[in-house]
Structure 1
Amino acid sequence: MTTNLDGTPVDLDRVQLDLDGGQWLWTCEVTESGEPLMLRLDRPGEPIPLADVYRTRGPIHPQPGRTTAAMYRQVLEAAR
């Protein structure tokens, strides 16, 4: 699932990293107003609304994923 935060898309299906390297993951729950609740993986505690994470720990960005063979193939084929 993707949501927008200040016009920036946030992929909630991926781990998000804050400026200090903290890892945040969507709990699949939302606040009464529909805001996603995030949980810090390395310091579990109470879930925090996404906007609060962004305001106090951000900006946030998705954790880089591993490059797959399919990705390499797509790039090499595009270069032809």
Structure 2
Amino acid sequence: MHALIDGVLIDLDRAVVAMDGTRWLWNRDITESGNFLMARLDGPSPILPLPIVLRGHGPIVPDRQPTTAAMYRQALLAEAA
């Protein structure tokens, strides 16, 4: 699932990191007004609508993911082709 907010496409299926270092993940719920609800992953916090997360914690970027063997294999096979 993706959200388009202020012209920025956000992948809600991945954890995100806000500018203040907090980590968030969509909890698969949406408010009555259509806002995605985000759960904080790295500390106690209530579940917040995405616009509140953006206002209170800053812009968000996808969280880093560890490189898997499948990713290495895909890159090496692409170079060989």
Common fold, TM-score beyond 0.5? yes
Q: C-alpha separation between the residues in 1 aligned to 2:48 and 2:22?
A: 13
- Structure 1 consecutive aligned stretches of length 4 or more whose deviation exceeds 6 Å: none
Aligned residue identity for 1:19: M
Q: C-alpha separation between the residues in 2 aligned to 1:44 and 1:8?
A: 27
Kindly provide the CA deviation profile for residues 7-51 of structure 1, in whole angstroms up to 9, marking residues without a partner as x. 222121211111122111112111111110112122333221111
Matches within 5 A, 1:25-40: 25-40=25-40
Matched, 1:57 2:57: yes
Q: C-alpha separation between the residues in 2 aligned to 1:21 and 1:47?
A: 17
TM-score, length of structure 2 as denominator length: 0.82
Count of residue correspondences: 80
Structure 1: segments with no counterpart, 5+ residues: none
Identity of aligned residues (%): 50
Matched, 1:21 2:25: no
TM-score, length of structure 1 as denominator length: 0.82
Q: C-alpha separation between the residues in 2 aligned to 1:47 and 1:69?
A: 34
